[in-house]
Structure 1
Amino acid sequence: MNPQTPSRTPHNTAPTWTVGDFVVHRIDETELPPQTGPWLLPEATPDIVNDVPWLRPAFAGHDGILHLASHSFALEVDGLRVLIDTGIGNGKTRANPAWHNLDTDYLRRLTDAGFAPETIDLVILTHLHTDHVGWNTRDDNGTWVPTFPNARYIASTTEWDYWAGVELEAPRQQMFDDSIHPIRDAGLLDLIDVPASTGLGTTGAEVAPGIRLFATPGHTPGQVAVELRSGDRAAVITGDCVHHPVQLPHPHITSCVDIDADQATRTRHALLAALADTETLLLGSHFPPPTAGTVVTAETNYRLVPVPGQHA
């Protein structure tokens, strides 16, 4: 090992899930404030939430308010060190007060889990929204520079083409300026063609051994979910095709920022149907702890059976 290279030995401070030969680490950024749920998923009223008792206490409070979080997932595949989504980021000008000028220990947590920024080889962006790309960059004396300078950052071509073809309002332009354009200008952003299918285990774009992107459009046109497969074990990282476990019994509940809510609902139904009553682990990109679980059929739709992460 190069003596200049930070240690890659994990300190096991992050919860982990084993998927075949993969060990998936949740890298916490921040809990999202209580007002996030009513804003993001306005159809998830307290009455609806309280009518799903298994959501309490982990996924919702007794007041019917949803719990949500911001985090990344990290794993190593055949020596390739992979980070999936990069959260909100520190010190950035944001219209959402909960995200504005954030100051968290995210990079320390990432490093303590054994994934120092310089050791990351691949960053997968499920879609180009503010709370999934923020740690793409960090402030270096007033300049936004790539946080993961040795990584290849990837997003879907469909996602890039959509945002390149619409007029961006000022807050979204700010996000592109501080979190997307610097990695593109550094030559680190690669666009991947992902087939327009939501099939599990079949179509998609393999970006590393056992890591496949598959299309989950609706929230954004080019959003992808991430399938991990090792041996006979599999997991799916949702991106924002499922924001919260309340959408398992109520897949029709949509996000206020879904670009195509009808398509988002169809995508969610298809994904949950494919996962139902299998051993495939669902890892929610905004699910609070325990974050993961398996999908089972329940009444007319689904529920999540939690699978807590392991702590050393």
Structure 2
Amino acid sequence: MSTETTAPQRITVGDVEVVRVVEWLGPFAPATDLVPQSAPQMWQDGGAHLAPDHYDPARGLAVMALQTWVVRSAGLTVLVDTGVGSGRDRPASPHFHRREGDLLGDLTRAGIPAQDVDVVVNTHLHADHVGGNTTGADGEWAPAFPNARYLVPAADDHHFGPAGGYGGNRSPDDRLLYEDSIAPVHRAGQTRLWDGTLRIDAHLTLESVPGHTPGSGVLRIASRGERAVFAGDVLHSPVQILNPSCNSCFCMDPVLAAAGRRKVLERAADERELVIPAHFAGPGAVRVRRRGGAFGFDPAA
């Protein structure tokens, strides 16, 4: 596998090409707020593994990215998550509320016009993973990728949709994100709900890893003996590789989330999968290795 340092960053996994499209990168939140089970010493002990790419020790802030990954495989162009989007009402999320992103422009500049996208994968239905699903103004939202199938986890669709989130008195943001980023795709007939596993093509497979949300999933690549896994929010920061029992503040089922994280890390170490989480800054991807009964990691190379 090879990684180019020019923008946009490109990675090859066998016959599959991966293009990184970064919406935003920088210090995000206090590290111990992002991962509440972590102690400041965990971040400090991470040393050069965490700072400066993933941790700002002077301010105690986690460094993160908002980004979309484009996968070109067997003639398909696949987007993995679509970021925050533009002009979305997210009153409970100051970082995302009324943010003005330019995913479509960023993709076009990377040589990926919207009409060429065949598949959109939402690893889960949080605001920073679905906002670019649709485009529009004044509440008139339509699919941003007119020729794409949108692969949406069925358990998340139930939870955040009218049958779950609306009736369960959950965050108003849950209703808002569903109405502006998911429901319009349903109405257009472009959604496919999935659960368990779903084979997209000869190289790409979706697998459920519930915990962060009820339907959280990962996308695996296997091509010519090389492997990678788009881990979504199974991992928010590499500190969770060093301390896999530590969940992010956004994980809905802590027990399931920690168990799923460990399984993903074990498989990545054993099968030499390149791990590509949704929010890692720095090179965006890491190599996980076993370190006794724990795990370590190295930047992608």
TM-score, normalising length: structure 2: 0.90
User: Is the CA contact (8 Å cut-off) linking 1:278 and 1:294 kept in structure 2?
Assistant: no
User: Is the CA contact (8 Å cut-off) linking 2:114 and 2:145 kept in structure 1?
Assistant: yes
Match of 1:298 among 285, 291, 294: 291
Give CA-to-partner distance per residue, 1:26-48, whole Å, 9 cap, x none.
11111254326443212333322
Q: Partner residue of 1:15?
A: 9
Q: What does 1:113-128 align with in structure 2 at a 5 Å threshold? A: 113-128=110-125
Distance 2:195 2:98 in 1: 34
Structure 1 unaligned spans of 5+:
1-11, 195-203
Q: Partner residue of 2:67?
A: 71
C-alpha change, 1:69 and 1:37, in structure 2 (3 Å) is farther
Q: Partner residue of 1:207?
A: 200
The alpha-carbon deviation at position 141 of structure 1 amounts to 5.7
Distance 2:43 2:215 in 1: 29
Match of 2:52 among 53, 57, 70: 57
Structure 2 unaligned spans of 5+:
1-5
- Count the aligned residue pairs: 288
The alpha-carbon deviation at position 239 of structure 1 amounts to 0.8
Q: Partner residue of 1:165?
A: 164
Give the SS at the match of 1:66: strand
User: Is the CA contact (8 Å cut-off) linking 1:32 and 1:70 kept in structure 2?
Assistant: no
Q: Partner residue of 2:98?
A: 101
C-alpha change, 1:61 and 1:32, in structure 2 (3 Å) is closer
User: Is residue 25 of structure 2 the alignment partner of residue 31 of structure 1?
Assistant: yes
User: Is the CA contact (8 Å cut-off) linking 2:139 and 2:180 kept in structure 1?
Assistant: no
TM-score, normalising length: structure 1: 0.87
Give CA-to-partner distance per residue, 1:216-270, whole Å, 9 cap, x none.
1110111110001111011000011111111011011112221110110111111
User: Is residue 90 of structure 2 the alignment partner of residue 88 of structure 1?
Assistant: no
Q: Which amino acid aligns with 2:234?
A: C
Q: Partner residue of 1:186?
A: 188
Give the SS at the match of 2:63: coil
Specify which structure has the higher proportion of strand: 2
Distance 1:261 1:141 in 2: 37
Q: Which stretch of the first structure deviates more once superposed, 118-127 or 97-106?
A: 97-106
Q: Which amino acid aligns with 1:223?
A: S
Distance 1:37 1:155 in 2: 30
The alpha-carbon deviation at position 124 of structure 1 amounts to 0.6
Q: What does 1:253-292 align with in structure 2 at a 5 Å threshold? A: 253-292=246-285
Give the SS at the match of 1:107: helix
Give the SS at the match of 1:34: strand
C-alpha change, 1:243 and 1:108, in structure 2 (3 Å) is same
Q: Which amino acid aligns with 2:23?
A: E
Q: Which amino acid aligns with 1:214?
A: E
Match of 1:225 among 202, 218, 221: 218
User: Is the CA contact (8 Å cut-off) linking 1:157 and 1:193 kept in structure 2?
Assistant: yes
User: Is the CA contact (8 Å cut-off) linking 1:42 and 1:255 kept in structure 2?
Assistant: yes
Distance 1:174 1:129 in 2: 11
Q: Partner residue of 2:240?
A: 247
